[in-house]
Amino acid sequence: MPISKTDFIRGLQCEKMLWLDAHAPEYKIIPPEVQAKLDAGNEFGDNAMGIFGEYTEMTSFHEDGRLYFSAMIEKTKACLEEGTPVLCEASFTWYGNFCAADILKKEGEGYVLYEVKNAYSVRKEFVTDLGFQRFLLRKCGVKVTACKLILRGDTPPEGYACQEEAFSQEEFLEHNGFTYRIVDVTKGAREADKLASDRIFELGKLKRKDMPMPDISPDEHCLTPYRCWYYDFCHKE
């Protein structure tokens, strides 16, 4: 079964989580404060779309409001053929596996892939997310020349733990009243690209109807890197 970049990240955290997403989503509990963070992240990403000036957005909807994935994929293909300089939510599929890139910017003979995160520092799961996208884009014939994160560039709140390695290639941009920090994580994304190649079909199998629920006991992975939405289900005993 095909997976998305969200499926990939959740499956890496816990295969049981991905299985529950596919087979028993009714046990999912998203706390209000978590939903608020998700909504804030979406707003932050929408505001970042024009960070490089004029752009073309791929997002399309059915009449009932559902995302129209096939239309997004076809529109992306057309824009790539036309050489559109900046694409937002550029959509790709390979063997049914899907991703929508936050920002794809044409530079020279290739494209720079950007992922927007409403966070102050680089985190491993962000880079892994980019690696999954890089893998799919390559399989779709897109030359990805660099992978970068677009983060918050304002001052973190007091007490915020910002621990990350030093990045030699980063810049700050102002747009729509926001300060954005852009960090080049190409090296890490290449490594995550290999991880996607190794695990994509294995994780996809978890979504098959005939797959039993993985026998995984609660542990640290229930809270790292995120608190699992099925925490109560797995800890009920």
Per-residue pLDDT of the chain (237 residues; tens, 9 = 90+): 899 999 999 999 999 999 999 999 999 999 888 899 889 989 999 999 999 999 999 999 999 999 999 999 999 999 999 999 999 999 999 999 999 999 999 999 999 999 999 999 999 999 999 999 999 999 999 999 999 999 999 988 877 766 666 566 789 999 988 899 999 999 999 999 999 999 999 999 999 999 999 999 999 999 999 999 999 999 985
CA distance 17 to 216: 10
Query: What is the CATH number assigned to the segment(s) 5-155+164-234?
Result: 3.90.320
**DSSP letter, residue 67:** B
CA distance 69 to 143: 22
CA nearest neighbour of 50 among 103, 97, 6: 103
| pTM across the whole model | 0.93
Strand ranges for the chain from DSSP E = 56-57, 86-94, 97-107, 110-116, 144-152, 170-175, 178-184
Report yes or no: 84 and 56 within 8 Å, Cβ to Cβ.
Answer: yes
The domain spans of the chain are 5-155+164-234
Q: What are the residues whose beta carbons fall under 8 Å from the beta carbon of 229, sequence distance 6 or more?
A: 17, 28, 29, 30, 34
